[in-house]
């Protein structure tokens, strides 16, 4: 009598801590520096999400552990209609996992490049939704620091959402930040000038983003760090010759106001203004019903074509061709000995904690009493040394993999991550 082989599958404990076994793994839709982003389905709720997974070994090699933990903590504080919100967080022996709102509509750079131009009324709608999200983040004392078309994702309906918080930080009410982080072409002059900055830098980045969406170019360019720095700090804001054909005078005025080098005069930041109320009351936004917009009841003027892939479809090929190891469900080691772990692995074990939006209460990690410590650059040097964010390689919406930004100088990638906000993580301090 032949032997009978029986495969026994352990039942899934949906009432226990969330883990990868709670999800069915579907197609890869993005590729990053430490892993991929793929569509997953929660086995019990049948809801679809985006799973962003981070290879611990690669993360350690690039000295990004503190930033991954910081991103995990920041996302726990955030829940907004126009943000890519975290729904679950957990880890296994090889990876850390973020389970995020699924955005299959592509990012704004993808659509800008595909369409060759974005109509003014579409840009206005996106700017309004992102302005709502920025106001919320700033109320949470969070500066995004890397707003750009790549980091704004559309859902299937066409609503815009901010993603990628890997260089985001909390701001202090008592002291300005001086570190240089993000994508240089979108950095505010007060970041590059190291004069100190706070939340108002995000409004400058929104201005650069809106300008680029409208005109398919950025207002300040340079093929080297020095040239781009000079352009951002000194060059007069100019508009293309065909600007009046693409944008109304009211829209041009919004761009000028967002790209004011004096932060106290910048739209949304005026010292005697009302923040986002100044934006809402600007003539350019007369057509926006802000109450309906913030309730996500307004009809987006652009709806992505969901019959087409709104991302680079080659992300799955590496696994099919066995170039890299595919993601699989795997059980964790039982009762691991923390004392015998490498410091970075132990840090992730202890600090990248489990989160489940259906049962966990969102917490604030804002460090009320810790000072802002500026590190990561030579305090004796007047020359800025911008540090590129990982978003050129970490695009959850899946658009171009490891794509460089056209017109951006090559920045020093040996220090791709900025240390996080001042929280007690291995003694490291934020900038």
CB under 8 Å to 60, separation ≥6 — which residues?
342, 344, 345
Instruction: Just list the catalytic residues.
Output: 146
Q: Residue 33's closest CA among 10, 8, 63?
A: 63
- The CB-based long-range contact list for 363-367 (8 Å cut-off, 24+ gap) reads 363/76, 363/77, 364/77, 364/140, 365/73, 365/74, 365/76, 365/77, 365/170, 365/423, 366/77, 366/141, 366/170, 367/170, 367/421, 367/422, 367/423
- Given the DSSP bridges, would you call strands 23-31 and 95-100 parallel, antiparallel or unpaired? unpaired
- Please report, in angstroms and rounded to a whole number, the separation of the first and last CA atoms in the chain: 70
The Cα 102–Cα 215 span in angstroms is 29
pLDDT number for residue 274: 78
**Cα dihedral: 177, 183, 189, 190 (round 10):** 0
Whether 418 contacts 376, CB under 8 Å: yes
- Strand partners for 142: 170
Domains of the chain: residue spans and CATH: 20-103+309-356 (3.30.200.20), 108-308+387-411 (1.10.510.10)
pLDDT number for residue 355: 94
Q: What is the pLDDT along the chain (431 residues), one digit of tens a residue?
A: 555 555 545 688 888 889 999 999 998 887 776 778 899 999 999 999 999 999 898 889 888 898 899 999 999 999 999 999 999 999 998 899 999 999 999 999 999 998 888 999 999 999 999 999 999 999 999 999 999 999 999 999 999 999 999 899 999 878 899 989 899 999 999 999 988 999 999 999 999 999 999 999 999 999 899 999 999 999 999 999 999 999 999 999 999 999 999 999 999 998 777 789 999 999 999 999 999 999 999 999 999 998 888 877 665 555 555 445 666 766 766 666 666 678 888 888 889 999 999 888 887 776 543 433 333 333 333 333 344 454 443 323 332 223 334 445 534 322 333 332 222 222 333 34
Q: Which residues participate in the annotated binding site for ATP?
A: 52
Radius of gyration of the chain (CA): 22
**What's the whole-model pTM score?**
0.82
């Amino acid at each position: 009598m032949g032997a009978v082989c029986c495969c026994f599958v352990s039942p899934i404990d949906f009432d226990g801590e969330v883990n990868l076994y709670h999800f069915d793994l579907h197609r890869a839709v993005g590729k990053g520096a430490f892993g991929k982003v793929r569509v997953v389905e929660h086995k019990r709720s049948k809801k679809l999400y985006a799973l962003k997974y981070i290879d611990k070994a690669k993360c350690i090699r690039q000295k990004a552990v503190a930033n991954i933990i910081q991103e995990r903590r920041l996302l726990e504080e955030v829940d907004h209609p126009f943000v890519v919100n975290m729904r679950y967080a957990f880890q296994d022996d090889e990876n850390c996992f973020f389970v995020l709102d699924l955005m299959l509509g592509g990012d704004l750079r993808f659509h800008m490049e595909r369409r060759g131009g974005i109509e003014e009324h579409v840009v206005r709608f996106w700017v309004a939704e992102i302005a709502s999200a920025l106001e919320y983040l700033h109320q949470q004392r969070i500066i995004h620091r890397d707003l750009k078309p790549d980091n704004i994702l559309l859902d299937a309906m066409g609503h815009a959402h901010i993603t990628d918080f890997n260089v985001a930080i909390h701001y202090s009410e008592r002291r300005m930040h001086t570190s240089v982080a993000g994508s240089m072409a979108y950095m505010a002059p007060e970041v590059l000038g190291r004069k100190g900055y706070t939340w108002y830098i995000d409004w400058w980045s929104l201005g650069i983003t809106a300008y680029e969406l409208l005109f398919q170019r950025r207002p300040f360019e340079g093929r080297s760090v020095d040239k781009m720095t000079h352009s951002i700090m000194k060059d007069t804001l100019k508009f293309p010759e065909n600007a009046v054909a693409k944008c109304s005078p009211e829209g041009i005025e919004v761009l000028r106001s967002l790209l004011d080098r004096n932060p106290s005069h910048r739209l949304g930041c005026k010292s005697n203004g009302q923040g986002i109320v100044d934006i809402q009351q600007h003539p350019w936004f007369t057509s926006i019903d802000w109450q309906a917009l913030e309730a996500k009841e307004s009809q987006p003027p652009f709806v992505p074509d969901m019959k087409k892939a709104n991302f680079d479809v080659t992300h799955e090929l590496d696994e099919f061709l066995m170039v890299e190891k595919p993601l699989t469900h795997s059980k964790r080691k039982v009762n691991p000995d923390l004392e015998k772990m490498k410091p970075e692995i132990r840090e992730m074990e202890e600090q990248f904690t489990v989160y489940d939006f259906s049962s966990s209460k969102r917490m604030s990690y804002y460090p009320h009493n810790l000072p802002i410590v500026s590190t990561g650059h030579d305090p004796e040097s007047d020359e800025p040394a911008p540090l590129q964010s990982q978003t050129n390689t970490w695009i959850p919406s899946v658009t171009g993999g490891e794509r460089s930004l056209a017109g951006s100088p090559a920045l020093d990638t040996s220090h791709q991550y900025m240390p996080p906000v001042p929280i007690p993580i291995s003694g490291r301090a934020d900038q």
